[in-house]
Structure 1
């Protein structure tokens, strides 16, 4: 069991998402940075989709009521366990009464705390992820609050020997996953269904602009500010299905990137879609950061997942060996 001591708004329990329910109007939810969550679980010997805590407002503090193992991944941050400094992207064993304190990230937006055995909250529609707007999943369908006590599952049998090691984060380990020299994060996209509704001038503006992630962004979507994208004539569209990564252009002309808690349908024109291999990078992009889009083919988008999958497979293999030393 863990007890939440300090938790500002919007820190939630998440796994890798609620798949297969979009047809009944339920968005996927799940970790904004699924690579970080899966990596933390791999360090501990959990299944990739074991539930952990997505921390996006700080400071965050919890107390371990029983002996437990945990890992911290995601954003580069400062943290302590029982007053002693911890490294990010590291796993550790905690004793009863130990307090884990996590401070504001130096780089990135979200820290993931995973626990040996995962957080043992009920599954709803096949997932433990919190769906804030619908009010289900996670812990009573809400953000974590001071005083909450969250159960931790039974750790895997074969993962119980050594916990004091870490891994290189993916933006270091995966070639080309970092920012440009000017601090802008490149994001790869494919053209979407209504791309050709925009004039050549608007298309060029979409590709050339360094878009700023607005402070009005959240788990539902990232609003971008910059040059406005306009259509030559207004258009009315029927609502259509959308998924995380779809870039829509509302009448304001400032794009919105759909994220984990996005609606399942919408009627704004779709100009592009972020490839799956770059969604985790967006999940670590804080408001005020700048991104720029670059076009890739479908074949390139599929191939781009190979380094991500290889990274997670290698991390798990090394962690499995290291715990047995």
Structure 2
């Protein structure tokens, strides 16, 4: 089975959990920016082996499915339709052979995820099918999708009842997106970095009490935060040290940079903070112009919140798998 890209959207790429563990080779993790949304999209179509999905940015692609398929959409709210029929998010949907899925703009947030049962079956590199757009690693030398791309889909047994429908239709239930998409814009949890004490007092206070704005220059490598200029007590010269997603750096401009999924493995700017991993998906869903603010946390709290989210995801994936075995479709 193949999926053909008719229109690529603003920035669409194939992503899975990434390729951690290769920093010694100079290779970053990459992977989905919003990992829980990617995991739940896969769960909703019955994928269990970390299959690649399409990460859409701000506006999604149009895709033709050559054979009948089962898909799911999660993440930022995005308009979706097949022909004249709108499709809901956060549920499982059947698409007929030859169906064209149109994904529009996102009402809020920045990234949506499209999973297909069987996963997009492109060759893996260093254990991952993710496209690293910065390092040019992955599908078609790590570039975004283009019109005319043909994406193979891996084999998978059909969801009960899905192969008989000749029209697009969803299941009769869906997930509540509220726990998995931040509609309220709460502060992100931030640990003090190794150079936090080098900030002057006013900058320390602003970091945990002020507001920044996500710059238009942000991408999958880093979120640039405009607004109040932070300053060090005195100039600081550093050699490059290890960096990872969530590291908050302070370049000479005084405007912080938060490293994201395609973070380089080393960096030479002062590291004034580390965003808690559990909150990185929320930063990934910020769009240019959105307000970003931080609250102070510690390692124990950050780890406890991350562990609790993993437990919730594991339970939810189990419930989804059980309900997929008893699928009931909304036929017209």
TM bin (shorter chain): over 0.9
CA offset digits 1:118-151 (Å, max 9, x no partner): 1000000110000123322134421100111100
Distance 1:320 1:97 in 2: 27
> What SS is found at the alignment partner of 2:254?
coil
Between the aligned partners of 1:189 and 1:47, the Cα distance in structure 2 is 32
Whole-angstrom distance in 1 between the partners of 2:49 and 2:255: 35
Answer yes or no: is 1:11 the counterpart of 2:19. no
> TM-score of the superposition, structure 2-length normalised?
0.91
Q: Matched residues in 2 for 1:118 and 1:76: separation?
A: 22
TM-score of the superposed pair, with normalisation by structure 1:
0.93
| Structure 1 moving runs of 4+ over 6 Å | none
Instruction: Write the distance in 1 (CA, Å) between the matches of 2:268 and 2:325.
Output: 53
Alpha-carbon distance between aligned partners in 2 of 1:266 and 1:273, rounded to the nearest angstrom: 14
How far is the alpha carbon of 1:57 from its aligned partner?
4.3
1:1-325 matches, within 5 Å, as: 1-47=2-48, 49-155=50-156, 157=157, 159-161=159-161, 164=171, 165-169=173-177, 172-173=178-179, 178=182, 180=184, 184-325=185-326
Whole-Å separation in 2 of the counterparts to 1:75 and 1:48: 23
Tell me the matched-pair count: 317
CA shift, 1:263, in A, is 1.0
CA distance in 1, matches of 2:161, 2:317: 15
Post-superposition offset of 1:85: 0.5
Q: Distance in 1 between matches of 2:119 and 2:160?
A: 14
Cα deviation 1:197-248 (Å, max 9, x = unaligned): 1122210011111111011100000000111001122111000010000000
Offset, 1:161: 4.8
* 1:79 and 1:86 in contact (8 A); partners too: yes
Give 1:9 shift: 4.4
Unaligned runs of 5+ in 2: 163-169, 327-332
CA contact (8 A) 1:61 1:101 kept: yes
- In the alignment, the residues of structure 2 paired with residue 8 and residue 45 of structure 1 have an alpha-carbon distance, to the nearest angstrom, of 26
What is the alpha-carbon distance in structure 1 between the residues aligned to residue 60 and residue 282 of structure 2?
22
The answer to whether the Cα contact below 8 Å between 2:5 and 2:145 also exists between their aligned partners in 1 is: yes
For 1:204 and 1:59, the matched residues in 2 are separated by 39
Aligned partners of 1:48 and 1:64: how far apart in 2? 22
Distance 1:212 1:185, change over 3 A: farther
